[in-house]
Structure 1
């Protein structure tokens, strides 16, 4: 498929496309290798339960220290090693991005597929609900779930004396346990980012439903579930894979943003940036004098987002040669 596309393009454009593909794969492969090799690149004090942060000194000094043999990329205040958090933050970010994008894509694809396959009033209602979710800002959702977790904190389900003097143990329900234990950033991003997937899946399924092989499957008595999983979703998956690949970088960027501004989350990269921010713009701060407190982490965030977006574009071109240049 890709060969047919390249055969119709000028050699200069073909070479550029190949270099773009190599660059995208190389950037993403770099982050994957760093994430896997984190225990060897930055050995943790507790190998079984590694932390994302490491203090290289017991000094209580709040001054950031420049790169040295003990701290390859320097430290932020209180001697937190930037290199260590950079490496382990890569593993954390990759796991977060992959899992959040996968859950979001799965939820949106199922909703969009079921809506389009059922059709009629059900389809109309689900699409209107999708539109309503699109109007709800993600930042408000994160604030909502953070407050909800505090309201459903474990101490809310302790022994409660009744008016008759009998002690009653209030146990949380299954839904309450899920909300309490879930990461509010993950929960908010999944529940309020599935809509584009639903719309793409909905459009794809409406087209696939008209094909002859779907009619043939219905004629021979195939069940709806089998038709959806074996015939519809595999043929509608290409644009969903493209969007999910791009969302890996977007999810990590959002996590870092919310952590940095204090809305929750535990991004190691953003936490290091937050600790070093006052040495950039605060009293006595210097953008060039303390470059190590922001430049390495910022570059990792930029290249992480760029790499996965770039890879999504290349997957789009590779899997949809007739739609070269069309972005989902």
Structure 2
């Protein structure tokens, strides 16, 4: 009886973070996605220490080792487990370093887009009136154009470069955060804690970002996981089309593009393995994001 009576007490004393983690890891698929994502992040962080080669160091590249098949051994005794590309770059090392760029671009663009779009969405949802109309009309205009087309136009004007890619992705992503934040703010602004904060005559910035924002975070966190995966896919597409990162710092999309011309000649591994790594990263992020949506949405069935 004591054990059975103590369980509700422990459940009542459970913090929201622990409760969310307990619900999250009830799903085997979400647990697998989270473990896979942790593995990918660990590989990207440890790439300089565990990668067989630095694919950005031209002194380590040998053109004589170009387009070697997976498992080939070079004249100097190096084994290329996933083969090499047309520059003699080790595909395995290229994937490790390419994941760093792809994840870095995806996460950084999502964070900045969330800051810009979330702030504008909160302002639109709380202030209302002409301010809301103006912000949401810009959001509607932004969302009416295909994201890849807008990003291509921006990069065609700015040129290649990691920072330019991040800027282009911020411009095409912020509108999704603004719409989500506005919807959450419309629900929260009529609640009692907001009315109490208004009665205390708190500064509007404090009311928005100290009181309103924390209660609007759950949907923004969910949308961020989706947008990170989308940003990685967009960056890969832009790099594949030659508008993304420079050749000297190849991402997964550029690695896929480098081997595309050799597919018909049977050198499939140059594009295949980076493409598989890109697919695995996107799937892992989506698995985590789908479960977070269920955990953070109180109306979802568990």
What TM-score results when the alignment is normalised by the length of structure 1? 0.76
Task: Assess, with a 3 A threshold, how the Cα gap between structure 1 residues 55 and 250 changes in structure 2: closer, same or farther.
Answer: farther
Task: Assess, with a 3 A threshold, how the Cα gap between structure 1 residues 52 and 22 changes in structure 2: closer, same or farther.
Answer: farther
What's 2:260 paired with?
277
What's 1:299 paired with?
276
What's 1:268 paired with?
251
Q: SS state of the match for residue 27, structure 2?
A: helix
Kept in 2, the 8 Å contact 1:52–1:85? The answer is no
Structure 2: distance between partners of 1:213 and 1:79: 62
Residue in structure 1 matching 2:70, options 50, 66, 69: 66
CA deviations 1:126-147 (Å, max 9, x no partner) are: 1111111112333333333234
User: Are residues 1:32 and 2:41 paired?
Assistant: yes
Name the one with the larger helix percent.
2
What's 1:51 paired with?
56
Structure 1: distance between partners of 2:170 and 2:211: 26
Structure 1: distance between partners of 2:299 and 2:209: 25
Q: SS state of the match for residue 62, structure 2?
A: coil
Structure 1: distance between partners of 2:278 and 2:294: 25
Kept in 2, the 8 Å contact 1:138–1:188? The answer is no
What's 1:249 paired with?
229
What's 1:206 paired with?
186
Task: Give matches, 1:1-328, under 5 Å.
Answer: 17-42=26-51, 51=56, 56-59=61-64, 63-69=67-73, 70=78, 71-149=80-158, 183-266=163-246, 267-281=250-264, 285-286=265-266, 290-324=267-301
Kept in 2, the 8 Å contact 1:65–1:79? The answer is no
Structure 1 outlier segments of 4+, above 3 Å: 14-17, 52-56, 61-66
CA deviations 1:262-321 (Å, max 9, x no partner) are: 23334422222222112213xxx13xxx34222221111111111111101111122224
Task: Assess, with a 3 A threshold, how the Cα gap between structure 1 residues 21 and 262 changes in structure 2: closer, same or farther.
Answer: same
Structure 1: distance between partners of 2:67 and 2:148: 33
Q: Which runs of 5+ in 2 are unaligned?
A: 1-10, 13-22
Pick the structure with greater CA Rg: 1
Kept in 2, the 8 Å contact 1:54–1:84? The answer is no
User: 1:216, CA displacement in angstroms?
Assistant: 0.6
Structure 1: distance between partners of 2:155 and 2:234: 16
Structure 1: distance between partners of 2:174 and 2:57: 29
Kept in 1, the 8 Å contact 2:173–2:227? The answer is no
